[in-house]
């Protein structure tokens, strides 16, 4: 008996081209969905980070007679910031010794809580004398603890108590932040600077370097959003006001052109 020999049929060139075209089409369909999922994941992480920060901030105020946290304390050769402690002699920054460290749920030294995943390391210039990472979130010391914000003209201003905030759901405590300096390139900023700055004797003027960063993509219309943490403990998404100064190239600006109620409430009381 003669057995029929099995035969195999290879793909023709046309069939291979069709298969490649189908695969490319499927990839093209899937990429936007994958990109959207990635953006959503980063947004969730950012919101979670800021929820940790605002919870820690609230715990701090509970233990300090309701006073807002300072941005900076100096003692000898150390500068203690809300995100870590800098040693002037060694030029090193220790994230385990920041003002907020004892109140964070993240492990001491875990810097990820200070880092927005939408602004990865290498996408900006690092500020600070140590040349190391500080934070890509900014604390609103200007509005809450102005005498520690690093602005010399604010040393006579007083630290706010949370009970003095009449609209805590509007008052920003933390936000996505960046700043554009003289180099024309974005740098990280651990301070949330408002759209208007104060000068004793002359009042309020426009700030040409506000630091709210609208870096999160909003797929419906392409405009960016910034995650912000409020004094009432909430975390929100904010867009920039079209009338506010806005640096389109890097998505840095302000929620609104005026300070009140988001950045500095009752600015008329300043002296």
DSSP bridge pairs for 198 = 204
pLDDT for 127: 79
Contacts of 211 (CB under 8 A, 6+ apart): 138, 177, 178, 179, 189, 191, 192, 193, 252
b/e sequence 221-231, b meaning 16+ C-beta within 10 Å: eeebbbbbbbb
The Cβ-side half-sphere exposure at 214, using a 13 Å CA radius, reads 24
pLDDT for 172: 98
pLDDT for 17: 76
pLDDT for 184: 78
Report yes or no: 68 and 145 within 8 Å, Cβ to Cβ.
Answer: yes
Residue 109: exposure state from Cβ atoms within 10 A (0-12, 13-18, ≥19): exposed
DSSP state of 159: P
Residue 97 three-state SS: helix
Residue 111: exposure state from Cβ atoms within 10 A (0-12, 13-18, ≥19): middle
Helix (H) or strand (E) holding 17: helix 13-63
Helix (H) or strand (E) holding 176: strand 172-176
pLDDT for 181: 80
Name the one residue in this structure whose structure tokens are 């002359």: 202
pLDDT for 39: 65
Contacts of 46 (CB under 8 A, 6+ apart): 116, 117, 118, 176, 216, 227
Q: How many Å apart are CA 14 and CA 157, to the nearest integer?
A: 76
pLDDT for 250: 84
Radius of gyration of the chain (CA): 24
**Phi and psi angles of residue 61, each rounded to the nearest 5 degrees, phi first:** -65, -35
Instruction: Give the pLDDT of the chain (271 residues) as one tens digit per residue.
Output: 544 555 556 667 776 777 777 777 776 666 665 556 576 788 999 999 999 999 999 999 999 999 999 999 999 899 999 999 999 888 889 999 999 999 998 777 788 999 999 999 888 988 766 778 899 999 999 999 999 999 999 988 999 999 999 999 999 999 999 998 876 788 999 999 999 999 988 899 999 889 999 999 765 555 589 999 999 999 999 987 655 555 667 889 999 989 999 999 987 778 7
Residue 179 three-state SS: strand
Q: Is the peptide bond before 261 cis (omega within 30 degrees of 0)?
A: yes
Could you tell me the two tokens for 56?
């820690």
């Amino acid at each position: 008996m003669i057995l029929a020999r099995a035969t195999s049929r290879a793909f023709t060139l046309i069939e291979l081209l069709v298969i490649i075209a189908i695969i490319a089409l499927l990839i093209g369909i899937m990429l936007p969905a994958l990109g959207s999922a990635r953006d959503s994941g980063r947004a969730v992480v950012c919101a979670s980070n800021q929820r940790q920060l605002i919870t820690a901030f609230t715990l701090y105020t509970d233990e300090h007679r309701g006073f807002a946290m300072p941005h900076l304390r100096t003692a000898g050769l150390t500068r203690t910031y809300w995100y870590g402690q800098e040693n002037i002699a060694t030029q090193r920054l220790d994230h385990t010794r920041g003002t907020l460290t004892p109140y964070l749920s993240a492990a001491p030294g875990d810097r990820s809580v200070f880092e927005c995943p939408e602004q990865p390391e290498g996408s900006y210039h690092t500020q600070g004398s140590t040349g190391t990472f500080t934070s890509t979130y900014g604390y609103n010391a200007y509005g809450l603890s102005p005498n520690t914000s690093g602005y010399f003209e604010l040393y006579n201003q007083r630290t706010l108590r949370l009970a003095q905030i009449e609209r805590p759901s509007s008052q920003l405590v933390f936000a996505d932040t960046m700043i554009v300096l003289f180099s024309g390139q974005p740098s990280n900023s651990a301070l949330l600077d408002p759209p208007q700055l104060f000068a004793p004797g002359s009042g309020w003027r426009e700030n040409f370097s506000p630091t709210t960063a609208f870096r999160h993509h909003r797929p419906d219309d392409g405009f960016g959003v910034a995650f912000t943490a409020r004094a009432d403990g909430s975390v929100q998404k904010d867009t920039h006001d079209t009338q506010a100064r806005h640096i389109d190239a890097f998505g840095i600006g302000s929620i609104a052109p005026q300070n009140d109620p988001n950045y500095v409430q009752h600015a008329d009381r300043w002296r």
